[in-house]
Amino acid sequence: MEKRNCPPSPSPRSTEKSGRDLRSGDSNGGTNTNSNTITRGEKGVNVQVILRCRPLSDEETKSNTPVVISCNERRREVAATQIIANKQIDRTFAFDKVFGPSSKQKDLFEQSISPIVNEVLEGYNCTIFAYGQTGTGKTYTMEGGGTRKTKNGELPTDAGVIPRAVRQIFDILEAQCAEYSMKVTFLELYNEEITDLLAPEEPKFPVPEDKTKKPIALMEDGKGFVFVRGLEEEIVYSAGEIYKILDKGSAKRRTAETLLNKQSSRSHSIFSITIHIKELTHEGEEMIKIGKLNLVDLAGSENISRSGARDGRAREAGEINKSLLTLGRVINALVEHSGHVPYRDSKLTRLLRDSLGGKTKTCIIATISPSVYCLEETLSTLDYAHRAKNIKNKPEVNQRMMKSAMIKDLYYEIDRLKQEVFAAREKNGIYIPRERYLQEEAEKKAMTEKIERLGVDLEARDKQLVELKELYDAEQLLSAELGEKTRQDPEKSLVDCAYNLRAELENAAADVSGLFCKNRFGISAQGLKESVQKLKILHGSVFWRNRVRKQITCYNELQCSLSKQEERLAHFAKKQREGHLRAVEASRSISKITAGFFHSLDIHASKLSSILEETQSVQNQQLLDLEKKFEECAANEEKQLLEKVAEMLASSNARKKQLVQTAVGSLRESAVNRTSHLQKEISTAQDFNSSVREKWGVYMEETEKNYIEDTTAIDTGRSCLAEVLVECKGKDKHGCTTVEERRGFTFQPWQRKHGICGFYRQDRNRNQPIAARSKLSSAVSSTLENIDVANKALLSSIDSSLKLDHDACANIGSILTPCHEEMRELKGEHQSKVVEITENAGKCLEEEYLVDEPSCSTPRRRQIDLPSVESIEELRTPDYDELLKSFQESRGSWKQANGDMRHFSQAQEPTSRSLEIQESLS
Ligand SMILES: Nc1ncnc2c1ncn2[C@@H]1O[C@H](COP(=O)(O)OP(=O)(O)OP(=O)(O)O)[C@@H](O)[C@H]1O
């Protein structure tokens, strides 16, 4: 077994020499081209290609059919094993997704199709089509294994892509509680004729199947979009309705038993779902989003001899292969970016135009069989699908329509229809609008021309037929006449005549011999006379005999020519009959001949394409050789040039490096200076802060001490005063009682005046402590009030100083944080700039100025980017003054740009604030 591994080739190319031909579509040579990782850009999105290999059928398993396909789902690769000249050759193909024989319908749908369905609901047009040899599972993948009945609303495990997509669409729309409308179409393309699988069945009596299917026309609108005229669109409201429609349409599809598939689809089918979803814009406007999903089940590509197709089936197969061949040519043209893409060569490619190289998102499911007997077709499918991977589409979301615009459109449509109805009612006979009339007239004209051509053809054939008939009649007449003549039989009379003549001749001979005898023995004159007479008779009879003889030969010749004529006539008549029959059946057989012609054309075309491929591969090889030589030559020249350039650039590079290093050094230095300056500022601010704190602590301590002293002094004063007060009260009481006593016992008139006066004097003296007491109490209360006021003032001043201090702290913090941030940013920026500059310098050195190192292989072809004279001139170091000036300018602008000045002024702020605080504290 020979198994060689080649590195992934950048372009898919089959190399007979290599044992393993890994095909990969992406330009990096990698194999990961999953739709999610597809590069989207101006160039578009690659068509997604999925490969599915079916399991061996029961018969194949029973007959121990060898398996030649192995699928690596993880690596997304398929390998086909081929034996050529007793050597095993593995060919490996990479795809976007690979599903092996044991893969489930659910897995295929969830992994590959479900995201596409979501995109349809986002407003894209998407197409999924199945391509592959007959009997490889296209219909199984698209529609399912046949059991479409749902169990408790669940889909059966073998349900295919179509029912699952339908279910997903309805599930999502219902979950979103969306307002939507949905319509479906289902068409079949058979022998280049389109029929509507949803068209109502009109005929009431049984007619052959082919007659019930009316072909419908494929039209192009003014913008080049293709549409099928009169295609039935069914509005649907549930998944169940779609399943019914699918069943109805599928049952109408043309299927037949082939050697490769018991129920082989003989036509291409396209099932389309169009969804209109209502959505609200931010402004509250109602918009209609439109998405379309096309699900295409292609008829099987097949080898006519292996599929056992004959007569009608062979023609079918020829047509199928023809449309698939055009599909292949379209794919090739798209991949090779050739100017002309032959979309118009078949109806299938016209219908799929937007899905191949258009604005639609497309996914191809290529199906293959693992059997060794299908290897040839499998390789062809793999090639086909692999090539299709390189088609790029440019998907666009369908323009959302304002609901009002859509309603307007519908009104317009209704108006148009109303006009038609009105026109038809008002006029005598049938009346249609001008455009329709012109269109139909054009169609009619084309039809008339076609009919005329056919009429002329028919006339010519009729003429030919009449001529042939005339000729035939003339020949018939001639042959009848000759027959009549032959029937009369003159032969017998002639023979009789001949016999008579012979007898006479015999007699005459006897007479002559008698005469001779007589003459010798003396014959008389009379005898002589008689003899002369007899001789005359004899002479006559001899003459007649000669004539008879001549007549006999003439007769024989006539006979001979007659038989020849008869033969010729019979032959001619036969030919005429054949010609007549041919002429009668000419119109019927012409289609057969055409079919044969097309078939042979197909064969020739496929031969030609294979020859073309061969030629292409040879040319490719030659081109490769040329390219190689050219690259070698270019590499040498490049090397020499690069050496020179490298020398030239080495010095300038060193200078540049020096320049860069100096610039970086100065930048670093300025950064360090700025950092140290900032740090100094921060430390000054911190010192100031700590000194303020210290002072504040001392002040607080002193204030507290004073307060405590004051409070204790007040307390002692208060207690002293209270004691004095108590003492005064006691004395006052005692004084009062004494006065009362005296008033009672010594009241005399002469003494009364003195006594009263004395009493009043005494009383006045006794009133002195009361006044003192009131004075004292008022002094105490005023002192207390003063103390309270002082306390309050002190407390408020403490509060305000605390607040000021807090504010000052906060200010310092707010100044410090941005300063720190700025510092960090500045540092980071500097570092990243330094790294960037170093990297760029390194890259520049490596990529542009270093001479290629010898790698013993042809260097990659590339464009040499020669530096211009100006750029070299720019490398010169400018004048010192100029440099200084530009540096200062740049520094100034840089300062402004970075808000440097602002920071600086902000940095000054704390000082003035701290002064304020100091003032307030003092
Ligand atoms: N992945 C699969 N798993 C199980 N059975 C499969 C699978 N693929 C195909 N089959 C079976 O193979 C048979 C042929 O499949 P199907 O009719 O889908 O082929 P086809 O490619 O559509 O053929 P045609 O082009 O002739 O219509 C069916 O009986 C189907 O059930």
Segment 780-837, tens digit of pLDDT: 788 788 888 888 888 888 888 888 888 888 888 888 887 788 888 888 888 888 888 8
- β-pairing, 20-23 vs 268-280, is unpaired
Known binding residue 133? Answer is yes
CA of 262 to the centre of ligand 1 (A): 9
> What is the number of the ligand 1 atom nearest to the C-alpha of 265?
27
CA of 112 to the centre of ligand 1 (A): 19
Q: Check residue 278 and give left, alpha or beta (phi > 0: left; psi -120 to 50: alpha).
A: beta
pLDDT of residue 106: 93
> What is the number of the ligand 1 atom nearest to the C-alpha of 264?
26
Known binding residue 255? Answer is no
When the pLDDT of each residue in the chain is averaged and rounded to a whole number, the result is 74
**Average pLDDT of span 671-692:** 80
Known binding residue 135? Answer is yes
> What is the number of the ligand 1 atom nearest to the C-alpha of 260?
26
**Average pLDDT of span 367-372:** 94
CA of 379 to the centre of ligand 1 (A): 18
401 has pLDDT over 50: yes
**In the numeric block, which tokens belong to residue 919?**
């003032």
Residue pLDDT, tens place only, 67-124: 999 999 999 999 999 888 788 888 999 999 999 999 999 999 999 999 999 999 999 9
Kindly state which CATH superfamily the domain 20-399 is placed in: Kinesin motor domain (3.40.850.10)
**In the numeric block, which tokens belong to residue 905?**
């002024």
From atom 15 of ligand 1, which residue's Cα is the shortest distance away? 137
CA of 140 to the centre of ligand 1 (A): 5
CA of 111 to the centre of ligand 1 (A): 20
Among candidates 94, 91, 620, 138, which has minimal Cα distance to 389?
Answer: 94
CA of 603 to the centre of ligand 1 (A): 27
Q: How far apart are CA 437 and CA 445, in angstroms?
A: 12
> What is the number of the ligand 1 atom nearest to the C-alpha of 53?
1
CA of 147 to the centre of ligand 1 (A): 14
43 has pLDDT over 70: no
How far is CA 572 from each of CA 87, 463, 478, 568, 664, rounded to the nearest angstrom? Answer: 62, 20, 12, 6, 109
Q: Is the ipTM of this complex over 0.90?
A: yes
Q: Where are the beta strands (DSSP E) in 54-159?
A: 69-72, 77-84, 87-94, 97-99, 125-132
CA of 138 to the centre of ligand 1 (A): 6
> Which amino acid, residue 658?
Q
From atom 1 of ligand 1, which residue's Cα is the shortest distance away? 54
Q: Check residue 606 and give left, alpha or beta (phi > 0: left; psi -120 to 50: alpha).
A: alpha
Known binding residue 132? Answer is yes
Q: Which of 106, 136, 378 to mutate to test the pocket of ligand 1 (most atoms within 8 A of CB)?
A: 136
> What is the number of the ligand 1 atom nearest to the C-alpha of 258?
26
CA of 158 to the centre of ligand 1 (A): 11
From atom 11 of ligand 1, which residue's Cα is the shortest distance away? 137
Known binding residue 300? Answer is no
| 793 alpha carbon, distance to own chain's centre | 83
From atom 10 of ligand 1, which residue's Cα is the shortest distance away? 137
> What is the number of the ligand 1 atom nearest to the C-alpha of 136?
21
From atom 14 of ligand 1, which residue's Cα is the shortest distance away? 135
Q: How far apart are CA 822 and CA 824, in angstroms?
A: 5
Known binding residue 895? Answer is no
pLDDT of residue 892: 64
Q: Measured on CA atoms in the order 510, 516, 522, 524, is the torsion positive or negative? A: positive
The segment(s) of the chain belonging to CATH 3.40.850.10 are 20-399
> What is the number of the ligand 1 atom nearest to the C-alpha of 266?
27
pLDDT of residue 486: 57
**In the numeric block, which tokens belong to residue 401?**
């329509």
> Which amino acid, residue 694?
E
Known binding residue 139? Answer is yes
Q: Which of 139, 255, 269 to mutate to test the pocket of ligand 1 (most atoms within 8 A of CB)?
A: 139
| 880 alpha carbon, distance to own chain's centre | 60
Residues in the chain: 922
Q: Which of 51, 52, 53, 54 to mutate to test the pocket of ligand 1 (most atoms within 8 A of CB)?
A: 54
Local confidence band at 838 (pLDDT 50, 70, 90 cut-offs): confident
Q: Measured on CA atoms in the order 349, 350, 351, 357, is the torsion positive or negative? A: positive
Least reliable range by pLDDT among 45-54, 133-142, 840-849, 906-915: 906-915
Q: Which of 60, 140, 141 to mutate to test the pocket of ligand 1 (most atoms within 8 A of CB)?
A: 140
> What is the number of the ligand 1 atom nearest to the C-alpha of 299?
25
CA of 248 to the centre of ligand 1 (A): 20
Local confidence band at 860 (pLDDT 50, 70, 90 cut-offs): low
Percentage, residues of the chain above pLDDT 90: 15
CA of 58 to the centre of ligand 1 (A): 12
Q: How far apart are CA 34 and CA 57, in angstroms?
A: 30
From atom 26 of ligand 1, which residue's Cα is the shortest distance away? 264
Among candidates 170, 193, 192, 189, which has minimal Cα distance to 293?
Answer: 170
Q: How far apart are CA 702 and CA 576, in angstroms?
A: 148
**Average pLDDT of span 551-555:** 70
Q: How far apart are CA 132 and CA 96, in angstroms?
A: 17
644 has pLDDT over 90: no
Mark 562-596 as b/e (b = at least 16 C-beta within 10 Å).
beeeeeebeebeeebeebeeeeeeeeeeeeeeebe
Q: Which residues line ligand 1 at a C-beta cut-off of 6 Å?
A: 54-55, 132, 134-140, 145, 261, 263-265, 299-300, 367
pLDDT of residue 454: 84
pLDDT of residue 566: 75
From atom 31 of ligand 1, which residue's Cα is the shortest distance away? 145
With residue 614 as reference, give the H or E element that holds it.
helix 525-745
pLDDT of residue 29: 32
Known binding residue 858? Answer is no
Q: How far apart are CA 879 and CA 841, in angstroms?
A: 23
From atom 9 of ligand 1, which residue's Cα is the shortest distance away? 137
524 has pLDDT over 60: no
Percentage, residues of the chain above pLDDT 70: 68
Q: If you average pLDDT over each of 36-50, 144-158, 241-255, 557-571, which comes out highest?
A: 241-255
